[in-house]
Chain A
Amino acid sequence: MTALLVAEAVTRRFVRRPSLGDRIAAAFGAASDGRAVQAVTDVSLTLNQGETLGLVGESGCGKSTLGRILAGILAPSTGRVLLDGASPMQAGHKITTRIQTVFQDPFASLNPRKRIGDSIAEGPVAHGIVTRAASGALVADWLARVGLDPDFAQRFPHQFSGGQRQRVAIARALAMRPDVLVCDEPVASLDVSIQAQILNLFLDLRRDLGLTCLFISHDLNVVRHVSDRVAIMYLGRIVESGEAARVYAAPGHPYTRALLASSPRLGLDHAVTLRPIAGELPSPLAPPSGCAFHPRCPMASDICRQERPPLTPRSDGQLLACHHG
């Protein structure tokens, strides 16, 4: 296995710009609260050539921010991202075409005033992957590969259903001939039957093109289905990662266990028992001390409140950040 995309101790802070009120208060000598949200904290991970890594977590856990950092769209505050040993960014801008992204909302990610053929061709033409004269053939080819009629190139995004639009978004990303595809909740807004169609398309294309993928989702069942390895995020940090089959069969972190127990699954007997986790995600503005999960954790002890457990490998290779793992 060769590492293709690597994140080394990546942290991303978002500093809230002080409002007028804050600045007036500060001018009168009020203590500034200097609120900064640390969306991603000290995350290291590796995407190996040809594998799909599933990134799971609830809203606000930082999974999309991490995805954007890995895609080279967002610069980390500290730490670095390396694609084949080189940074995908330079001076705050993405400089590689080898990583492409498919976003959750195909309504927002496609320009409503552009014919979808032009949306698909724009990147490849700009980067010299194809000449403008030959771009029509490229568009037709990609539309066919994602299961759409090549004649649709002349249409506008509003003329498509959500599932078709996501197909267009996939075609647009893949027309750039990327090595890495970052998918941020690509099926979250789709109906069950359409979701199955898009997942099948994703599995087919990934195999045919030998793609390396980061698949971000809140849906544990979807992630299980497409991923070789998974990483579970909680409040900006990875709390557990490992081979998908292992993590799902023997989750080591209490949060992973709680997530799995909270997720309704249709089992063989179709009896569904839910064991919800108590409490809510704490505010990232004021993360709990020690292990961020301790206020909701049934196993929490004194050490969990005081010391943050590092992400350490278990004997079976699973990485785990838990004092009781």
Chain B
Amino acid sequence: MTLLQVRALRTHFLTRAGAVKAVDGVSFDLQRGEILGLVGESGSGKSVTGFSLIGLVDPPGRVVGGSIRFDGQELVDLAVTRMRELRGRRIAMVFQDPGATLNPVLTIGRQMVLAVQAHRRLSERAARALAAERLTRLGIPDAEARLDAYPHEFSGGMRQRVAIAMALLHKPDLIIADGPTTALDVSIQAQILVEMRALARESGTALIWISHDLAAVAAVADRIMVMYAGRIVESGPVRATLAAPRHPYTRGLLDSLPATAQPGARLRQIPGNTPALLSLPPGCPFAPRCGYADAACVTDVPVIEHDGRMARCHHPLEPRP
């Protein structure tokens, strides 16, 4: 069942120098309970896409076009009060830096009780019990006592667990996680990847996992979308897509990883740099860096769809033998 339907979403930042097209025509569907990995490099628009979905784009940024239908309801231009009803209750977000999410002058328990009572009429005691239960579920030992601790008394990994527990308070239909393990050590990242996946499965929560880390996304997601210069250049089931990418950019990203190369050998790097989003040329934004690009690539970009996979490319790659 489709939970989220995004069509031709455009989020632009209107600056004095012109419109920075951070998200420029993004369309995708998300099923209930599905885990979607959204990958891209800095400036690709992956985070802005996430922020657009939950209505948290700050000026000068603005959703300038397209549609976001969440469970049948249009979210673009939804009244602030209506959006606030959804936010935290049915759509929750986990940010990269839990230190910035949590209020440093309130105890964890206090913030969680406030978050519960924002959407439900529960007594203080019942709200605390709910908070403690969620913290326990996230693997925080001695949760009842930890409710009285302040954020600075937790380690980075534990703080992120608290932030995730808060996102789960109302059993939302959708969690948008923006690089939640980027700042964490590998051993803590692995714990959180495994726990988030299990929690999403168990509660039927759909998850959009935004990350620059292809390997982490491969570990957590069912489906992957690769963004480049504000557009989705490839999407499909995570395994098939990473095993045999169709878009040269996805291939390039995979080839850049030291993990896929012979130790000590030169990595196959993608030439050039990401383009400035102020003045994107017509056609494929990756064309200037692409080894397959020809005259057709600078005029338009076709959408190739096949077997539940999509690539925007004139020259989709065949699987390597």
Q: A interface vs B, CB < 8 Å?
A: 58-59, 161, 163, 191-197, 199-200, 203-204, 218, 220-222, 224-226, 244-245, 258-259, 261-266, 269-278, 280-281
Identify which of B13-21, B107-115, B249-257 touches chain A: B249-257
Q: A192-B257, A262-B187 are in contact. Are A272 and B267 (CB under 8 A)?
A: no
**CB proximity of B194 to chain A, nearest CB, Å:** 6
Q: Inside 8 A of A196's CB, which chain B residues have their CB? A: 255-258, 267-270
Residue of B42, B213, B258, B274 near A224 (CB, 8 A) is: B258
> Is the CB–CB distance between A276 and B157 below 8 Å?
no
Report how far A68 CA is from B242 CA in the complex, Å.
Answer: 39
> Is the CB–CB distance between B269 and A264 below 8 Å?
no
Chain A residue with the shortest CB-CB distance to B252: A193
B189 at the interface (CB under 8 A from A): yes
Q: Can you list, as one digit per residue, whether each of B242-274 has a CB less than 8 Å from chain A (1) or not (0)?
A: 110000000011111111110110111110011
Q: Inside 8 A of B145's CB, which chain A residues have their CB? A: none
> Is the CB–CB distance between A271 and B239 below 8 Å?
yes
> Is the CB–CB distance between A220 and B186 below 8 Å?
yes
Report how far A244 CA is from B194 CA in the complex, Å.
Answer: 28
**CB proximity of A50 to chain B, nearest CB, Å:** 13
Q: B interface vs A, CB < 8 Å?
A: 41-42, 155-158, 185-191, 193-194, 212-216, 218-219, 238-239, 242-243, 252-261, 263-264, 266-270, 273-274
Q: A264-B219, A265-B259 are in contact. Are A274 and B269 (CB under 8 A)?
A: no
Report how far A119 CA is from B269 CA in the complex, Å.
Answer: 28
Residue of A192, A226, A263, A280 near B190 (CB, 8 A) is: A263
Report how far A196 CA is from B157 CA in the complex, Å.
Answer: 28
Q: A193-B41, A196-B256, A222-B258 are in contact. Are A274 and B157 (CB under 8 A)?
A: no
Residue of A59, A161, A195, A274 near B219 (CB, 8 A) is: A274
Report how far A273 CA is from B239 CA in the complex, Å.
Answer: 12
| Inter-chain pairs besides A199-B258, A274-B190, 19 sampled, C-beta below 8 Å | A161-B273, A193-B269, A196-B255, A196-B257, A196-B268, A220-B186, A221-B258, A224-B258, A226-B263, A258-B187, A262-B190, A262-B191, A264-B213, A266-B254, A266-B257, A266-B260, A271-B239, A276-B187, A278-B191
> Is the CB–CB distance between B189 and A272 below 8 Å?
no
> Is the CB–CB distance between B185 and A200 below 8 Å?
no
Q: A196-B270, A244-B263 are in contact. Are A280 and B188 (CB under 8 A)?
A: yes
> Is the CB–CB distance between A272 and B269 below 8 Å?
no
Report how far A244 CA is from B268 CA in the complex, Å.
Answer: 22
> Is the CB–CB distance between A203 and B185 below 8 Å?
no
> Is the CB–CB distance between B218 and A272 below 8 Å?
yes
Q: A191-B42, A193-B256, A244-B263 are in contact. Are A264 and B218 (CB under 8 A)?
A: yes
Report how far A206 CA is from B191 CA in the complex, Å.
Answer: 36
21 contacts between A and B (CB under 8 A): A58-B186, A192-B256, A193-B252, A196-B267, A197-B269, A203-B266, A221-B257, A224-B263, A225-B261, A244-B263, A258-B187, A259-B186, A262-B190, A263-B190, A265-B215, A266-B257, A266-B259, A269-B243, A276-B193, A280-B155, A280-B157
Report how far A281 CA is from B187 CA in the complex, Å.
Answer: 9
> Is the CB–CB distance between B185 and A272 below 8 Å?
no
Q: Inside 8 A of B273's CB, which chain A residues have their CB? A: 161, 163, 194
Residue of A203, A259, A263, A280 near B264 (CB, 8 A) is: A203
Report how far A194 CA is from B271 CA in the complex, Å.
Answer: 9
> Is the CB–CB distance between B269 and A200 below 8 Å?
yes
> Is the CB–CB distance between A226 and B186 below 8 Å?
no
Q: Inside 8 A of B239's CB, which chain A residues have their CB? A: 269-271
Q: Inside 8 A of B188's CB, which chain A residues have their CB? A: 280
Residue of A192, A203, A225 near B212 (CB, 8 A) is: A192
Report how far A218 CA is from B188 CA in the complex, Å.
Answer: 12
Chain B residue with the shortest CB-CB distance to A244: B263
> Is the CB–CB distance between B258 and A218 below 8 Å?
no
In the A-B complex, the 7 residue pairs with the closest CB atoms: A225-B258, A196-B256, A276-B190, A262-B190, A264-B215, A191-B41, A58-B185
Q: Inside 8 A of A274's CB, which chain B residues have their CB? A: 190, 193-194, 219
Q: A196-B256, A200-B267, A244-B263 are in contact. Are A218 and B218 (CB under 8 A)?
A: no
Chain B residue with the shortest CB-CB distance to A296: B187
Report how far A270 CA is from B219 CA in the complex, Å.
Answer: 9
> Is the CB–CB distance between A270 and B243 below 8 Å?
yes
> Is the CB–CB distance between A270 and B218 below 8 Å?
yes
Q: Inside 8 A of B266's CB, which chain A residues have their CB? A: 200, 203-204
**CB proximity of B157 to chain A, nearest CB, Å:** 6
**CB proximity of B274 to chain A, nearest CB, Å:** 8
Report how far A289 CA is from B264 CA in the complex, Å.
Answer: 39
Chain A residue with the shortest CB-CB distance to B253: A192
Chain A residue with the shortest CB-CB distance to B267: A196
Chain A residue with the shortest CB-CB distance to B273: A161
Q: Inside 8 A of A197's CB, which chain B residues have their CB? A: 269
**CB proximity of A322 to chain B, nearest CB, Å:** 17
Report how far A59 CA is from B184 CA in the complex, Å.
Answer: 9
Q: Inside 8 A of B267's CB, which chain A residues have their CB? A: 196, 199-200, 225
Q: Inside 8 A of A280's CB, which chain B residues have their CB? A: 155, 157-158, 187-188
Chain B residue with the shortest CB-CB distance to A204: B266
